[in-house]
Amino acid sequence: MERREAAHQNGGMTASALPLIAIDGPSGVGKSTTARRVASRLGWQYLDTGAMYRAAALAVHRAGLSLEDRPALERLLAGLDLAQNQGRTFLAGEDVSEAIRSQEVTRRVTPVSADARVREVLVEQQRRIGASGRWVVDGRDIGTVVFTSACCKVFLTASPEARARRRFLELQAKGQSPDFEEVLEDQRRRDLADSSRAVAPLRKAEDAVELDSSGLSLDQVVDWIVARHQAHP
């Protein structure tokens, strides 16, 4: 794997670390908004790996493909053309930024993102992207699997209620009439699936710092991560 390594003087010892901030955590914790804001404050680029899994799930769905049909899945993965630009996600050149946020894709992405072969292909693409330049990357396995030598690893958490409340308000703002208990239950199912899957389950990297954002504003979370990065560049 190609990587641009930056050497840092660290307490008299030389450690090698990628100029990359990894932000992992469960769904609904505000990782994407936080990561985008941190990237903009630092003048770094932002990679949304969740959007990559969502776009892959959309491609699988559009192809009418079953994950059990391994030869067809291999063909789809070989031609999977994903890109991100200015916060938008493209599948074979088509802007799918809205389509990947649909309930349908949200439901279908869990099994797709648990597939070892899908992960292998997407992780390879993520590493290729992150090898050049300075990146803020958010996901579930960025600090534990994808970029284990990221210079800064943050594990962002919030109480299930705080996360569900956020999602509930987001759906209301979209004109929907969500049921809070249903939102909470759906989130509990996704938390369980993300943290109990066999491949790259959601967990905090040993060298990640954990931040509970339950009682914090977005600005406070962004300030905290930027300050943390500047103190440990």
Binding site for ligand DC (CB under 6 A): 27, 49-50, 53-54, 109-110, 113, 139-141, 194
Nearer residue to ligand DC within complex by CB, 19 or 28: 28
Tell me the three state secondary structure of residue 117: helix
Nearer to ligand DC, 151 or 200 (CB): 200
CB-nearer residue toward ligand DC: 34 or 49: 49
Least CB distance from residue 179 to ligand DC, whole Å? 20
Q: How many CA atoms lie within 13 A of 204 on its CB side?
A: 11
Rounded alpha-carbon distances, angstroms, from residue 133 to 46, 89, 99, 211, 213? 11, 19, 29, 26, 28
Contacts of 28 (CB under 8 A, 6+ apart): 158, 163, 164, 166, 167, 187
Q: Which two tokens stand for residue 179?
A: 């049921």
Least distance (Å) between residue 140 CB and ligand DC: 4
Query: Toward ligand DC, which CB reaches closer, 92 or 192?
Result: 192
| Shortest separation between residue 14's beta carbon and ligand DC, angstroms | 29
Rounded-to-integer distance, Cα 77 and Cα 90, Å: 15
In the DSSP assignment, the letter for residue 101 is: G
CB of 193 to ligand DC, least distance (A): 7
